[in-house]
Structure 1
Amino acid sequence: MAPGTGSCKKKRDTESSPVSELSDDLLVEIFSCVPYRSTCCCKCVSRRWHDLVSHPDHRKKLPQSTLAGIFYQIRNENTGYQSLSGNWTRLGPNNIADYVVCNPVTERWVVVRATNCSSNASIARLGFDPAVSSHFHVFEFVPASSVGANRPTIAGATTDIKSVGIYSSKAAVWARRVGWKSPISVRCTSESVLFRGMLYLSTNAGLVIGFGVEGNRRVIRAPMTHSDDDVHNVYLSQGQLHFANKGTSELSIWALDGSNGENWTLKHNVTHLQLLGIEFSSFVWNYDVFVHPEKSVIFIVLNYYSSLVTSRQSCTKLMSYTVDSKERRFICDLGPNCRAPYLSYVPFFSDS
């Protein structure tokens, strides 16, 4: 067989198949009728199919990966996963020397070796955006003082961060370690999101700090006056960076205008009574929230004690609040001993 004959024959067979005669619009209509996981497989068939599925103009028509559940911490240092369909899983202890990054869908995992600073690290975060790349980054935050580091974090505890190490899965090495003069005070359980190459988290000084994968930093002022009693976090929803502030009487959620701007727009303002209902309105400081990544839905994780005849039992409820319809819905009981951070999980089926 002459060199290249096999590949040419395969190309001719593909081009002469009945499917190749279908127009792009008709193919997109067919793709829209199959599950999201199947559309990921369609991208591997040919360059044409890959471009059709990936094209921005077709994303609204095609099925999208959506929120499947949440990850959260359990007080005995295990990690739990609660799917929105009702299944609960204990994922095992996390007090190991190295970091382990796992994709629950593909069941593939990678061990990220610890550094000399890892034993003193008080916060570690995963930076991953499947819309941009299948590669990920690990951000390892080291406090100004190692006293008390590497201990179980307590809800609401704060730490003063002085440097960050950044691991790149593409290079398979800890690529950078960046330090700064003035420590940054953050809650150990604060949420963080990767948005356009930067990992964002909120500080206790009324700021949102972005740490770039290249070692650069960005500082954005919070959209409202800082109060010591307020609890705030950052989230990614509908393609925008969001800032949620839980005040004494209400929850406000703001969206950042543009990718490089520093102006915030108020999106939602919800009272605690609207979120929790009359039954749980007295537990104002006993709940955490996170925002749906694609919809105007707020998820509430309510922690409280139920008074029984003989003892007090710790309870955790997962509820949702739809902003447009103002509908509040109970989802499931998470069980006792749950704690922040609560991380939304959107399945990622493809490896490249």
Structure 2
Amino acid sequence: MDASFERNTKPRLDDHPGATAASLFTDDLILEILSRLPARSVHRFKCVSVPWRDLIADPTNRNKLPQILAGFLYMTVSNNRRGHHFASVSSDDEAAPFDPSLPYLHNHDKDEGIIQVNSSNGLLLYRRYMKNNEVTPLMKEDDYRFVVCNPVTWRWVELPPLPQKPVVDRSSRTTGLAFDPAISSDFHVLHFEQTFQEKYITGVNIYSSRTGAWTHRGNEMAEKVMLFFRSRCIFVGGMLYLMGSLERNHCHHLLLGVDMEGKVWRTISLPYGGRFGAIGSSQGCLHYAVAFFDDNNQISGLELWCLQDCDSKELVLKHTASFNKLMSMTGKVYMTAEIHPDCDTIFLISCLGDTLVAYDMRHQKVGYILNLEKSNTQQLLPYVPLFSESLGDADGQ
């Protein structure tokens, strides 16, 4: 095409008095562009103009646009009673986007309760149990069922019973949810097992929403890996990751990754061996946040590591922060808890479990500080809204 013709036929801003570049796009085209961007960028574009702000905030467009972190679900235990809570990180709305107790998952005729297990890109995994049963790690599989739900659409599915296997050590069993709407509307649940006799992983039961059934895969790794109790499971790059240690060396902490067919198993060494940190999916990559100690065994700093290549077996250091600087800002002692899904911010929980603070590792500054219920806080689950109606073979509303 002739260059002069292209110059003469291109629309020009001066041909439209008072127009801006943004105003030349239709709403449908803007939504199509925004749907391909990270959630953090989409929310920043609310500042472009009033029409853009209204377009992004319109509830009818939510299922087309990526959503940013809304907050954290967590449980408390007081007098043997469990409470379900939500800590909002949104400046737009401090209220929970839904009832955190998820009343529609309770069958009151059967007097059932729920325990949160894991979250993955807007879906939540719970164990549903009879309230007259004592809730312990030694619960029999017949005493509970796994339930996967989308809390904003009220759609849920109860998984079939687990395959009957030999007696296992339930104190070390871990279950994870794997879901990525950018890849598929299907989800998987991986339930790891190990026996009393063998204190390392012996296999995994995998539920697929596509087939509606469980399959069992044995562990064919050369390494003997023991999982940490209530290890957090993170799904990224087609693999479910969780933390553990080598049976022969409990101080050698590592990441274990398993694919959705149970055919690929890999281990990745963690920095500082025996230190406990937090893993999370952020900006499409697996991240690891950990505290490091000085010669007097006192916490001196925080580090954020990243698995930049899913095929790599080595984490790369991204940021280092002074723990003393953080302490001077907050006046409390904190432990690493979670990692923001869209930026290099880590969340730390106070030793008393009553405060959650966001710390920007890139700019070395404290963000919002959230007050939690002061009653034995248990397991924070990050929550990002998912407005898609699809949920496998959902049998709920």
What TM-score do you get using the length of structure 1 for normalisation? 0.71
Other-structure match for 1:214: 261
Other-structure match for 1:83: 88
- Structure 1 Cα separation of the partners of residues 325 and 337 of structure 2: 14
User: Residue 144 of structure 1 aligns to a residue in which SS?
Assistant: coil
1:133 paired to 2:184: yes
Structure 1 residues without counterparts, runs of 5 or longer: 1-23, 44-62, 148-158, 305-314
Other-structure match for 2:71: 69
* Deviations, residues 249-307 of structure 1 (Å, cap 9, x unaligned): 222111112221223221111232333436534x35xx232111011221122132xxx
- Structure 2 Cα separation of the partners of residues 194 and 118 of structure 1: 28
- Structure 1 Cα separation of the partners of residues 183 and 280 of structure 2: 18
C-alpha deviation, 1:68, in angstroms = 0.6
1:337 paired to 2:375: yes
C-alpha deviation, 1:331, in angstroms = 3.2
> 1:329–1:146: structure 2 CA closer, same or farther, 3 Å change rule?
farther
- Structure 2 Cα separation of the partners of residues 173 and 289 of structure 1: 33
> 1:332–1:223: structure 2 CA closer, same or farther, 3 Å change rule?
closer
- Structure 1 Cα separation of the partners of residues 282 and 230 of structure 2: 20
- Counterpart pick for 1:348 among 368, 382, 386: 386
Other-structure match for 2:233: 192
C-alpha deviation, 1:25, in angstroms = 5.3
Structure 2 residues without counterparts, runs of 5 or longer: 1-23, 35-51, 103-112, 116-127, 130-143, 246-251, 294-298, 391-397
Other-structure match for 1:308: none
* Deviations, residues 188-244 of structure 1 (Å, cap 9, x unaligned): 2322211122101122333211111111233243252413xx112321101111122
Other-structure match for 1:298: 346
Other-structure match for 2:158: 111
**Cα RMSD (Å):** 3.0
- Counterpart pick for 1:172 among 208, 212, 215: 212
- Structure 1 Cα separation of the partners of residues 175 and 197 of structure 2: 15
Equivalent residues of 2:232, 2:279 under 8 A apart: yes
Structure with the larger strand share: 1
User: Residue 206 of structure 1 aligns to a residue in which SS?
Assistant: strand
- Structure 2 Cα separation of the partners of residues 235 and 224 of structure 1: 16
1:39 paired to 2:61: yes
User: Residue 29 of structure 1 aligns to a residue in which SS?
Assistant: helix
Other-structure match for 1:327: 365
- Structure 1 Cα separation of the partners of residues 167 and 74 of structure 2: 22
Amino acid at match of 1:28: L
1:246 paired to 2:286: no
- Structure 1 Cα separation of the partners of residues 166 and 376 of structure 2: 25
Other-structure match for 1:28: 29
User: Residue 311 of structure 2 aligns to a residue in which SS?
Assistant: coil
Return 238-247 or 70-79, whichever deviates more.
70-79
- Structure 2 Cα separation of the partners of residues 348 and 118 of structure 1: 37
User: Residue 161 of structure 1 aligns to a residue in which SS?
Assistant: coil
- Structure 2 Cα separation of the partners of residues 348 and 101 of structure 1: 13
1:272 paired to 2:293: no
- Structure 2 Cα separation of the partners of residues 278 and 297 of structure 1: 16
- Structure 1 Cα separation of the partners of residues 167 and 182 of structure 2: 32
> 1:77–1:160: structure 2 CA closer, same or farther, 3 Å change rule?
farther
> 1:78–1:126: structure 2 CA closer, same or farther, 3 Å change rule?
farther
- Structure 1 Cα separation of the partners of residues 149 and 337 of structure 2: 24
Equivalent residues of 1:201, 1:233 under 8 A apart: no
- Structure 2 Cα separation of the partners of residues 132 and 178 of structure 1: 26
1:102 paired to 2:149: yes
User: Residue 158 of structure 2 aligns to a residue in which SS?
Assistant: strand
C-alpha deviation, 1:70, in angstroms = 1.1
Equivalent residues of 2:72, 2:381 under 8 A apart: yes
- Structure 2 Cα separation of the partners of residues 71 and 119 of structure 1: 32
